[in-house]
């Protein structure tokens, strides 16, 4: 197993490089780079220069450079050249890419172009929101979906299976943003009840600081309840059906009939024999569920509930062409996804020691 883990770890490097090459190359063809954004802001066409203070001395990424900046005719050429030097766009793209990867291999992600803060500090600042959404939505989805999926498999074809399937299909069909808006309208003072707060991860600082430890915990869960429910709805449906189908496949196998023939009680058959085998495919999907809730799926939820997390950070960086933030977060989350994939394989072996990845590769 150690040789397999070593090979997977070594594959992380070319995979990361490949992802960065593709995205860096695509950025070269995207119009409206950071210099053009700054020029537009200085001429009153935008406000992307907020907080700009000569960032770019530690160039960590870049692209989209253009020798002819539309609308820059009123600015001195010397000023444009100075901007290019500060952002590193006076260098050829290949040299910029090698500088980028060298810095990233040392986990030096540079500073945001427009926020006067390092990319790492910016990610850490936004992390609590994304961790809260991803962690709680994933845990709730698994805690509900696994028992419900098992129950549906055991009572396959019964009225219980039929009506729960209807509820699951409706939950899966409802877009996350629409369900989030519905929750706001119903329970956050939109038109009906003011049960939950409409925005933020916690109360305002003056109120938060006055709360006891138990009060802070309650306040946190009070704020995170609606966005977590909205983010859980689609993954809950998928996991439930996946669990049910996995159990149905296992229940039809010969070892289950043998166990029942030996006189084992149904609970022992389900949780002593079937559970371990049926859960393999569910565990295999854990990294995708977690990463999807942690990052990809949180953008819309963060926007609806006015939460400042990593989803909004990446989107705003893309709009403003803040390349250090774009490439830094891309590198971090690609690396995180690859490592979680390896952890998923280790969980396979932990649950079922009969699985040997090294033997499968030989």
- Per-residue pLDDT tens digits for 238-282: 788 888 888 888 888 888 888 888 887 878 888 777 887 777 777
- What are the backbone angles phi and psi of residue 118, rounded to the nearest 5°? -70, 155
Instruction: Look over the chain and give the mean of its residue pLDDT values, rounded to a whole number.
Output: 78
| Cβ neighbours of residue 299 closer than 8 Å, sequence gap 6 or more | 311, 312, 314, 315
In whole angstroms, give the CA distance from residue 281 to residue 183. Answer: 32
**HSE on the CB side for 269, CA within 13 Å?**
19
Mean pLDDT, residues 224-241:
82
- Per-residue pLDDT tens digits for 19-62: 999 988 888 777 777 777 777 766 655 444 343 334 443 444 44
In whole angstroms, give the CA distance from residue 150 to residue 27. Answer: 47
Q: Domains of the chain by range and CATH?
A: 13-115 (no CATH), 122-321 (1.10.3720.10)
Mean pLDDT, residues 336-342:
81
Q: Is the pLDDT of residue 296 over 60?
A: no
Which range scores top for mean pLDDT: 19-23, 179-183, 273-277, 353-357? 19-23
3-state secondary structure of 67: coil
Which of residues 300 and 330 earns the better pLDDT score?
330
Which of residues 101 and 266 earns the better pLDDT score?
101
Mean pLDDT, residues 304-326:
84
pTM given for the model: 0.71
Would you place residue 353 in the very low, low, confident or very high pLDDT band (cuts 50, 70, 90)?
Answer: low
Q: Which two tokens stand for residue 56?
A: 């770019």
Q: Is the pLDDT of residue 340 over 50?
A: yes
Q: Is the pLDDT of residue 144 over 80?
A: yes
In whole angstroms, give the CA distance from residue 307 to residue 302. Answer: 4
Q: What is the DSSP letter of 164?
A: H
Please report, for residues 194, 202, 215, 217, 303, the alpha-carbon distance to residue 211 in angstroms, rounded to integers and kept in the order given. 21, 11, 5, 9, 27
Which range scores top for mean pLDDT: 44-58, 153-167, 264-278, 343-357? 153-167
User: What separation, in Å, do the N-terminal and C-terminal C-alpha atoms of the chain show?
Assistant: 12
């Amino acid at each position: 197993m150690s040789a397999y883990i070593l090979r997977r770890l070594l594959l992380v490097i070319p995979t990361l490089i490949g992802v960065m090459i593709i995205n860096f190359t695509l950025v070269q063809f995207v119009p409206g780079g950071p210099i053009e954004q700054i020029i537009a802001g200085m001429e009153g066409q935008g406000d992307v220069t907020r907080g700009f203070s000569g960032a770019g001395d530690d160039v960590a990424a870049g692209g989209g450079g253009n020798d002819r900046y539309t609308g820059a005719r009123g600015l001195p050429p010397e000023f444009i050249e100075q901007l290019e030097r500060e952002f590193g766009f006076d260098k050829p793209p290949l040299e910029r890419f090698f500088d980028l990867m060298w810095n990233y291999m040392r986990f030096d992600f540079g500073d945001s172009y427009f926020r006067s803060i390092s990319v790492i500090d910016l990610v850490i600042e936004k992390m609590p929101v994304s961790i809260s959404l991803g962690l709680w939505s994933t845990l709730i989805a698994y805690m509900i979906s696994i028992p419900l999926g098992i129950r549906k498999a055991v009572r396959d074809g019964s009225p219980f299976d039929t009506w729960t399937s209807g509820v699951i299909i409706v939950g899966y069909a409802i877009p996350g943003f629409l369900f989030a808006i519905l929750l706001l309208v119903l329970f956050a003072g939109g038109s009906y009840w003011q049960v939950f707060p409409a925005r933020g991860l916690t109360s305002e600082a003056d109120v938060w600081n006055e709360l006891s430890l138990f009060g802070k915990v309650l306040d946190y869960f009070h704020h995170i309840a609606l966005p977590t429910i909205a983010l859980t709805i689609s993954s809950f449906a998928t996991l439930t059906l996946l669990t049910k189908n996995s159990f149905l496949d296992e229940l039809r196998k010969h070892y289950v009939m043998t166990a029942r023939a030996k006189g084992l009680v149904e609970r022992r058959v389900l949780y002593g024999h079937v559970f371990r085998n049926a859960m393999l495919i569910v565990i295999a999907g854990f990294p995708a569920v977690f990463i999807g809730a942690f990052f990809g799926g949180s953008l819309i939820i963060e926007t609806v509930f006015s939460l400042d997390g990593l989803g909004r950070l990446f989107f705003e960086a893309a709009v403003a062409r803040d390349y250090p933030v774009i490439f830094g977060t891309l590198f971090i989350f690609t690396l995180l996804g690859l490592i979680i994939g390896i952890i998923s394989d280790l969980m396979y072996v932990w649950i079922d020691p009969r699985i040997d990845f090294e033997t499968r590769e030989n």
